[in-house]
Structure formats: structure tokens, C-alpha cells
Chains A and B, each alone.
Chain A
Amino acid sequence: MYIHQHTCISAQQTFGEIELNTVKESVNNKLLAVEPKYEGIPPGILRRMGKAVRLGVGAALPVIKNNNNIDGIIIGTANGGMEDCIKFLNQIIDYEEGMLTPGNFVQSTPNAIAAQAGLMAANKSYNITHVHRGLAFENSLLDAMMLLKENQEAKYLVGGVDEISTYNYNIDYLEGWYKKTATVNTALYTGDSTGSLAGEGAAMFLVSNNSSNAVAYIQAVHSIHTTDTTQLSSALQHFLQKNNIETEDIDILISGENGDNRLLKYYKAIENIVHAPAARYKHMTGEFPTSTAIAVWLACNADKLPAHMFKSGDNEAAPENILIYNNYKGMQHGFILINK
């Protein structure tokens, strides 16, 4: 599956003028997305959008604009419009189930992002939303890859998006997934503590079987659920074998390491197999369930990955094979194999 267009809205300068060398710092343990002005979205539509919908549609618009007849829209999002969801919930409790405004309810369904993108593109074709938490984006990629086998000539919009809302931050904080003490992103990997920094963002891709002028090629995707590092290691070995890739063929490992000392063992297990330079990205994006969408966007820019991303080794001149490994909450693991 070839990537032809790639857009990204994140906590870094990734939309419009791209600048990856300077790292924007986190505030209050959060890396909030740098939102553009959304000039392509009519105010009458923008007024209803929650942040996840804005991020998703905002990132999708340049792709939609350049491509009239997209054959489908595939979005991965764990939570969709969580802010709207809890705003509606708060109305239920605060007004004791009285007269409530339905706008938040309608916007709270995770499929609102793909639906709104479809609406704005007047696109009546395949439209789906994968919500399998930390593998929502991996499942979206798999969906797109199957679709391109089923419809050889087609092209699809595929992407991942999630937002930080006050509420999901609170829930994940209470569950222990964010740092308990003030931590800046530039020091994310140096401490020895639990939790990470909260993040959000969206990345969108135009994919097809057409190899000419493609930015990158997604060779394979694989996901597993386990807490066992041995199982994880053998899953990776099996994955590489199946795709005829030797570990030394991999030029860069893009690693989802997130500063949570409980998860380090998984990343170490992978680094024990793949000795390529390891590039980390969560200090740029923060942690969120569909962060690998941004990892794929970074892989599309592999020749300009900044030095601050590299944990070991340097960026090679022309990296060819890139492996993305990410772990979400110790349980969900995804591998994405990309060729430049």
C-alpha cells in the first residue's frame, strides 16, 4: 500500500510549514496540538465541531481537496469526541435528566470524524471508524490494505486522531497513565517513574496501489495483545520472517517509548532484536491511543528526522526499511513495516 499524501496536526510544527528540529515544550504534563486556522471549514460547520473532529477534519481537508473521488474514508480513533461526550454527561447529571441540548450527544460518537469528513467531501462511499483503543489506527491500516486488494484501482483516506479532553486526562490520570509530578517533554525519557505525558493529534494519508511518485510503501501491519515479553519477541520475529525482512535490513526503529518505566521492558525486548538506530517520538506528541498515525507521518519524513529523536545511532542518509513498534498501556502492541 503506497502513501501519496500525508498531513499531520500535532503538538509540534507538523502542519503547513514543517519544522521538526525545535521541540515545542509541554505545559502541565500535556502536549496540546498546534491547531491551524481551519480556513477550509465553513464557520457554520466549525462551530459544532469538538476538538477531535476539528483535528481530524482539519488534517483530512488538504487530502480531500486534492482528490475528488476518494473510494472510502477510514478513521482510527479510540475516543472520538470525548470532550463532547462528557459535556453531555455533565448536562445529564447537572440538569437532573431535564431538558438537554443534543448537539454534544451527536458530536460525541466516535464516528463523527469520518462522518464529517465524508459530509464535507460529499463522499458517499465506504466510511468506517475503528475504535480499538491503542490499535485503532493499526486496524484502520489493515482495513485499507484489504480494501486495496479487493479494489486494485482505488484510493482511500486513512488516518488516526485522538484528543486530550479534561475528562479523559482525568480518567487516565486516575488510572496511573500520566506522570504524577511536573515533567517536561524534553526530559521524558530520563526519569524512572510511571506514567507518560498526555498528547493528541491527527495524521491523514492518501493510499493506493500506485507506486509512481509515492512517498512511502506500507508493507505490513501486525498487532497482538499480550503482557508477556517472550510472546512479544516471537511475534516480532514471526512478523519479520513472514515479510522476508532480516533484522539487519531495518534502518530505523521508530519506537513508541513513552517514559513509563513499566513499559520499558517491551521496548527493550524489541531493541534486543532490532539493532537499528532507535528514534523516539512521544516527547514530541505525548501519549495517546492513535499516536502511531503520527509515527507513520514521521516515517514519511524519514530523511529529515531530527537528532533529538534518536536514542541510539544516527539517522542514516537514505533509510529504506523502517519498523514502527508501539505499545499501549502494556497490553496492545502494534508493528508497522514501511519502505521508503
Chain B
Amino acid sequence: METMDKEQLKQKLKEQIIQFLNLTDKKPEDIKDDEPLFGEGLGLDSIDSIELIVLLSREYGINIQDPKEGRKVLVDINTMADYIQQHRTK
């Protein structure tokens, strides 16, 4: 497991989200750490939430099965980064 401080992780995560969801009009600095991913903030939808769960699986080896668990994790960049730090297997 590579070590990475939290700020680096968040930066990396933003880049991955942009690439994974093809957010071509966004740069990492456009996404605030506490900006909601869904609804008002980034404006993602239910398909995106599934794509993000696949991202966590492919990039960090985290398999979220329960959609309720997913909703707790996929709130904003902070919650995602916290969860990754605690649960990553790669």
C-alpha cells in the first residue's frame, strides 16, 4: 500500500472522479472538499453514484455492496477520502 497524505489523496481522487465521470468542464481545483457530490453541488445522479462505487473498487480495492453504505460514503470529497484511508486494500 502506498502511503499518501490526505491532501494528496483528495487531489488524486478529484482527478480520478473527473476522468471517470468525464467531467470535461471541471478541473480538480473546481471541486471543493465539502461540496456535495449529488444534487446542488457537482450535480451527479444515480448512475454516477454507481460509477463512483466502481471507481472505489478498481482504484482502491474497496467493495461496497450495500447501497446504504454507499450513500454514507459518497457525500463529498472529505467523506470519500476518509473512507478510502480507512478501508483501502490497494
Q: B50 contacts A101, CB within 8 Å?
A: yes
- With a cutoff of 8 Å between Cβ atoms, the chain A residues found around residue B20 in the complex are 101
Docked-complex contact B51 and A47, CB < 8 angstroms? no
Flag if B54 contacts A99 (CB, 8 Å): yes
Residue from A47, A99, A101, A103 in contact with B24 in the complex, judged by beta carbons closer than 8 Å:
A47
Tell whether A43 pairs with B54 under 8 Å between CB atoms, given A103-B47, A106-B47. Answer: no
Q: How far is the CA of A43 from the CA of B20 in the complex (A)?
A: 15
* Number of chain A residues whose Cβ lies closer than 8 Å to a Cβ of chain B: 12
CA distance A103 to B51 in the complex (A): 7
Cβ < 8 Å to B, chain A residues 22-51: 43-44, 46-48
Assembled-state Cα–Cα distance A272/B47 (Å): 55
For A47, list chain B residues within 8 Å (CB). Answer: 21-25
Instruction: Decide if A100 is an interface residue (CB 8 Å cutoff).
Output: yes
User: Distance in Å from the Cβ of A40 to the closest Cβ of chain B?
Assistant: 14
Q: Which residues of chain A have C-beta atoms less than 8 A from B23's C-beta?
A: 43, 47
Q: How many B residues have CB within 8 A of the partner chain?
A: 15
A308→B35 CA distance, assembly (Å): 56
Contact among A44, A48, A99, A106 with B58 in the assembled complex (CB-CB below 8 Å): A99
Contact of B47 with A102 in the complex, beta carbons under 8 Å: yes
Judge whether B22 and A101 touch: CB under 8 Å. no
Residues 42-98 of A contacting B (Cβ, < 8 Å): 43-44, 46-48, 98
Across the interface, do B51 and A101 meet the contact criterion of CB distance under 8 Å?
A: yes
Smallest Cβ-Cβ distance to A105: which chain B residue: B47
Contacts of A106 in B (CB 8 A): 47
Complex Cα–Cα for A43 and B43 (A): 11
Q: Cα distance A47–B43 when bound, in Å?
A: 12
**Which chain B residue lies CB-closest to A44?**
B43
Return the chain A residue nearest B24 by Cβ.
A47
Question: In the complex, A139 Cα to B43 Cα: how many Å?
Answer: 38
Interface pairs A-B: 9 shortest CB-CB: A43-B25, A47-B22, A101-B51, A99-B57, A101-B54, A99-B54, A44-B43, A102-B50, A47-B24
User: Which B residues are within 8 Å of any A CB, using their own CB?
Assistant: 20-25, 43, 47, 50-51, 53-54, 57-58, 63
Q: List 26 A-B contacts (CB under 8 A).
A: A43-B23, A43-B25, A44-B25, A44-B43, A46-B24, A47-B21, A47-B22, A47-B23, A47-B24, A47-B25, A98-B57, A99-B53, A99-B54, A99-B57, A99-B63, A100-B54, A101-B20, A101-B50, A101-B51, A101-B54, A102-B47, A102-B50, A102-B51, A103-B47, A103-B51, A106-B47
Given A43-B23, A47-B21, 4 more pairs with CB closer than 8 A: A44-B43, A101-B20, A103-B47, A103-B51
